[in-house]
Structure 1
């Protein structure tokens, strides 16, 4: 089987596609953004890169900053049209399946070609805020309905987005709910007992959707007696978050570490930190099923997570195996959740047992691999 993947360069995509290694299928990846060199971690995949620019020219960055209008004119001549390139790839490869990851960036640019090539089976994987906040991402309802009409097979990372797709005209085959990264691999030896954990772990996105600064503000309302013997780690921290922490005399009196968003941290290293964490806090106003939420639960950290579109309720029973942030902009409410979680070791112990078992049963990477490989076989032989 010949499968053409269409996606931006993304950690979760790389993890998903690696589930197909040694499956016997020919896998191609059209890098829709043509960003960066070939990706070594998926070096077994046929990577279609270097397609965007017809030619290079010297002093490009200087021209871009000093003469932006001239730069744009040159770019129009210099850049190849995505649709033209993609159509040529389709004609040359003749793939059995096209699988698109994410709608706006990866799906919409190739929709016109796929509408012409309606004999090719088309899978779409919805990610993050893809379906939930399509209007905020700049897509109209008509555009989404046109896209979903062409989609033959749908995968989502939560139940919520399957419902939203149905409300926007999707009527074909739903392949199921899968984590966007194809599953999680857990190092059990890194999962510490509840009493041996000493880290408060915070996702540091502050990008309009991510609201990490509200979590940082909430820490300033937590009793210093609860925090003084703990480590605080803020990972994937945006510059605004880093600056806010550095400006806080209270936070700088604590043992706090910032891992910047632009600094690479391996997934294995992050899982190890999660295995040492008392709690993991993720706060946003729009998302799908966050992979880091599932990872932190699987590594035994008590989850405190926002609930856009009620998606978090699919895995967290509030007050039983985690806390749901009902008001992501209310730093006092978040502070109370953090305090309650730190104080209640019995709750965290029972939640850890439940969560590690639940995630291992439902999101284990090894278990999901067979299902993901079979998924493509189902698509190929489906008459949809």
Structure 2
């Protein structure tokens, strides 16, 4: 079977595709952005890259950074059209299945080609892709046209199945799977509740992510609560780094910051989660956050926002975590942090429940055969 995947270069996509290694299928990746060199994370996949530029002219990077207006004009003549590039790739490969990961980035740009062919199309919805499509710049008609073309749907949460059906999807729902194809967690790095001394905070603050509100909440919490804790931020946007620099209180409280544009190995982050007492992540829009699932699986007590009621699919508020009902309410978040710090029994019970829940429902080795069968079933149904 030939499977043609379409996606941006993305860690979760690479992890998903690697579930198909040694499955006996030929897997191709059309890099919809044509960004960077071939990925070393999926060396066994045939990677379709280098399609965008007609000519990679000398000093291109320098012109791009120093003369952006000139670069834009040059690129208007120098870039190949993504529709033509994908159509060519399709004709060369003649795939049995096409799988688009995300609609806005990977599906809509090549919809005109997809509508001309009858090959089964699988669409994987991630994050805010379908939940918040208007903010992402898509019209209801564009979404409806794409969903009507999609034959099969995979989501990372139950919520998005309903949204897809409400917006024109009439095909077969293949199930809820984590965007990365499952978690591979090392129990050796899961510490007991009494050994955990870190509060870990996700640092996205890009208009949707609202780490800045979490930091404002930290400033409201009595500093004595943090006497035995290190506070660590990861995937931190520059605006949050500036917020920390401009606050003496935050500068004193926060032990370490991992910038968003710096590379941190996933294994390193998982180990950090395994020694963290609390994991806090706050956003206005999302699907099922992989970081939340990883934190739960590594035993960190989750405090998480709940856009579109998606997080409550895995968190029972007050039992195995705490839900942020208003991601812009500083006082609410401060109160949740205080509750999590002071209620050790809650954290211990949540850790016992969450580690087993994630092991049962999101274990990578358990999900792998399901994912392989998923493609087989689509192929057999269309043959």
- TM-score band by shorter chain is over 0.9
The whole-number CA distance in structure 1 between the counterparts of 2:35 and 2:227 is: 43
Give runs of aligned pairs for residues 111-260 of structure 1, distance below 5 A.
111-118=111-118, 120-260=119-259
The whole-number CA distance in structure 2 between the counterparts of 1:24 and 1:49 is: 23
CA shift in 2, pair 1:193/1:69, >3 Å: closer
Q: Does 2:300 correspond to 1:295?
A: no
* Deviates further, 222-231 or 63-72: 63-72
Would you say the 8 A contact 1:182–1:368 is kept in 2?
yes
Unaligned runs of 5+ in 2: none
The whole-number CA distance in structure 1 between the counterparts of 2:64 and 2:195 is: 53
Displacement, 1:254? 2.7
Q: Does 2:25 correspond to 1:13?
A: no
TM-score between both structures, scaled by the size of structure 2: 0.98
CA shift in 2, pair 1:95/1:364, >3 Å: same
The whole-number CA distance in structure 2 between the counterparts of 1:52 and 1:31 is: 10
2:302 alignment partner, SS class: strand
* Deviates further, 40-49 or 244-253: 244-253
2:233 alignment partner, SS class: strand
Displacement, 1:65? 5.8
The whole-number CA distance in structure 1 between the counterparts of 2:181 and 2:65 is: 41
Aligned position for 1:97: 97
The whole-number CA distance in structure 2 between the counterparts of 1:90 and 1:181 is: 25
Aligned position for 2:38: 38
The whole-number CA distance in structure 2 between the counterparts of 1:109 and 1:180 is: 21
Would you say the 8 A contact 1:230–1:255 is kept in 2?
no
1:324 alignment partner, SS class: strand
Deviations 1:25-79 (A, max 9, x none): 0010000000001111110111111111010223434544665554333212211
The whole-number CA distance in structure 2 between the counterparts of 1:285 and 1:46 is: 37
The whole-number CA distance in structure 2 between the counterparts of 1:238 and 1:306 is: 18
The whole-number CA distance in structure 1 between the counterparts of 2:377 and 2:33 is: 29
Would you say the 8 A contact 2:120–2:382 is kept in 1?
no
CA shift in 2, pair 1:259/1:67, >3 Å: closer
CA shift in 2, pair 1:138/1:81, >3 Å: same
1:220 alignment partner, SS class: helix
The whole-number CA distance in structure 2 between the counterparts of 1:153 and 1:288 is: 18
Would you say the 8 A contact 2:28–2:47 is kept in 1?
yes
The whole-number CA distance in structure 1 between the counterparts of 2:29 and 2:15 is: 13
The whole-number CA distance in structure 1 between the counterparts of 2:280 and 2:300 is: 9
TM-score between both structures, scaled by the size of structure 1: 0.98
Count of residue pairs the alignment pairs up? 383
Aligned position for 2:350: 351
Deviations 1:95-129 (A, max 9, x none): 000100011111011110010012x1100000100
CA shift in 2, pair 1:151/1:255, >3 Å: closer
The whole-number CA distance in structure 2 between the counterparts of 1:242 and 1:68 is: 27
Displacement, 1:325? 0.1
Would you say the 8 A contact 1:184–1:364 is kept in 2?
yes
Deviations 1:320-353 (A, max 9, x none): 0000000100111101100100100001010100
The whole-number CA distance in structure 1 between the counterparts of 2:68 and 2:252 is: 46
